[in-house]
Amino acid sequence: MKNKLLFPIIFAFIFSACSDFSGNEDAVEASLKPAPVTRTTTTTTTRTYYDLNAITYGNNTFVAVGENGTVFTSSNNGSSWDNGTSGTTREIYEIAFGDDTFVAVGDRGTHIYSGDNGNSWLDGTWSGTDHITGVAFGNNTFIGASSTYLTKSIDNGSNWNSIGSGVRVYDLTFGNSKFVASGAVGAIQISPNNGGSWTTGNSGTSTNTLYGITFGNNQFFSVGNSGKIIISGDNGSTFSNVSSPVTKNLYSVAFGNNIFVGVGYKTVVVSNNDGSTVIEKENTLTFNDVTFGNGVFAAVGDDENIYTSTDGDTWTKVYGK
């Protein structure tokens, strides 16, 4: 996920036995996002382009989402892209895949789901109005994160209920039968029972905001502002710092081809096979999110830009304005 927060925010972190916890967020107000960019081409034709915030892979399909309810799909490893119909003009912040279903979340409580590879979407039942900034799937469960609560669906995104209050994390992932969420001031939260209860992990930082988190090679890997990179081999309970080659904000991270690839503001970083060493591979491209599928990393950015890579080093533009 991949929320581009380029300003300082201070939040208090509170956790209680009844699974209410807080870490940060006020995060992704729609008013803070740049407006759609209108540009005039050399043929004097005016078009409106939208930023892409998130991308995921499932059922042999990449699906990217973003501003104004924008949806793009690709069923040929990113070689070509088609428009999906989200049914909303609200901004979509994150997307996940599970059980033959894509679920996307976003502005003002948006929860939408697609059973046809992102071509068409239905609204999930949910009455809240907070921005939902993260979503993950595991063990037949989708869990979303907002600035004040977690949301949960056990019927492939059709219906949602709240499973916590005061929740302030940005992103979630699932691995080793656990959900792990990351957020502000180094917030780490862990649930081994499909969101029924949460415990606090140790990120090793109390000053960095953690924007993205993923699971791979039996490890959780999280990235954040000022180039922060942390890794956990004990199911998220304790993270250790990985020496970062950058001080730029990192927004998202994915695992594939036995490497972790992190993306952010004018940077792409790539780890060795165990995540202990990270180097910068690209310093001109800005991506908001990255995912991996069928041997390919796919990353999205502003102006509907989509790039692919097999190694995180060489990137090919496959769509954009």
Does residue 18 belong to any structural domain of this protein? no
Taking the CB of residue 227, how many other CB atoms lie within 10 A of it?
22
- Residue among 66, 65, 262 nearest 74 (CA): 65
Query: Per the structure, how many domains does the chain have?
Result: 1
Q: Is residue 1 domain-resident?
A: no
Whether 191 contacts 197, CB under 8 Å:
yes
**d(C-alpha 221, C-alpha 215), whole Å:** 6
Local structure of 14: helix, strand or coil: coil
pLDDT of residue 48: 78
Number of Cα atoms under 13 Å in the Cβ half of residue 234:
8
Q: 112-133: per-residue pLDDT in tens?
A: 999 999 999 999 999 888 899 9
Instruction: Please measure the distance between the N-terminal and C-terminal CA atoms of the chain and give it in whole angstroms.
Output: 22
Confidence label for 1 from pLDDT (cuts 50, 70 and 90): low
DSSP run (H or E) holding 181: strand 178-183
| 272 has pLDDT over 70 | yes
The residue with greater pLDDT, 31 or 316, is 316
Nearby residues of 155 by Cβ (< 8 Å), 6 or more positions away: none
Rounded to the nearest angstrom, the gap between the alpha carbon of residue 7 and the centroid of all alpha carbons in its chain is 19
Percentage of residues in the chain having pLDDT higher than 70: 84
- Which range of residues forms the domain containing residue 113? 30-319
What percent of the chain has a predicted confidence (pLDDT) above 90?
Answer: 77
Q: Does 6 have pLDDT greater than 90? A: no
Reference 223, options 251, 242, 245; nearest CA is 251
- The reply to whether 200 falls in a domain is yes
d(CA 126, CA 142): 14
Confidence of residue 3 (pLDDT cuts 50, 70, 90): low
pLDDT at 24 over 70: no
Is residue 254 assigned to a domain? yes
9 falls within a domain: no
Q: Is residue 12 part of a domain?
A: no
| CA 55 to chain centroid | 8
Q: Say if residue 34's pLDDT is above 60.
A: no
Report whether 185 contacts 13 (CB < 8 A): yes
Mean pLDDT of 56-79: 97
How confident is the model over 228-260, as pLDDT tens digits? 999 999 999 999 999 999 999 999 999 999 999
Residue 55 belongs to domain with CATH number = 2.130.10.10
Mean pLDDT of the chain: 87
Question: Which residue has better confidence, 109 or 45?
Answer: 109
Stated pTM of the model: 0.87
Instruction: Find the mean pLDDT for residues 153-171.
Output: 88
Does the residue 13 lie in any domain?
Answer: no
pLDDT band per the 50, 70, 90 thresholds, residue 31: very low
- pLDDT band of residue 22 (cuts 50, 70, 90) is very low
Give the residue among 138, 197, 137 at the shortest CA–CA distance from 167. 197
Tell me if residue 153 falls in helix, strand or coil.
Answer: strand
Helices (H), 197-314: none
In this prediction, residues 294-312 reach a mean pLDDT of 98
Closest CA to 245 of 290, 276, 294, 278: 278
Q: Is residue 249 part of a domain?
A: yes
pLDDT at 28 exceeding the cut of 60:
no
Mean per-residue pLDDT, 90-114 = 97
C-alpha triplet 139, 262, 197: angle, nearest 5°? 30
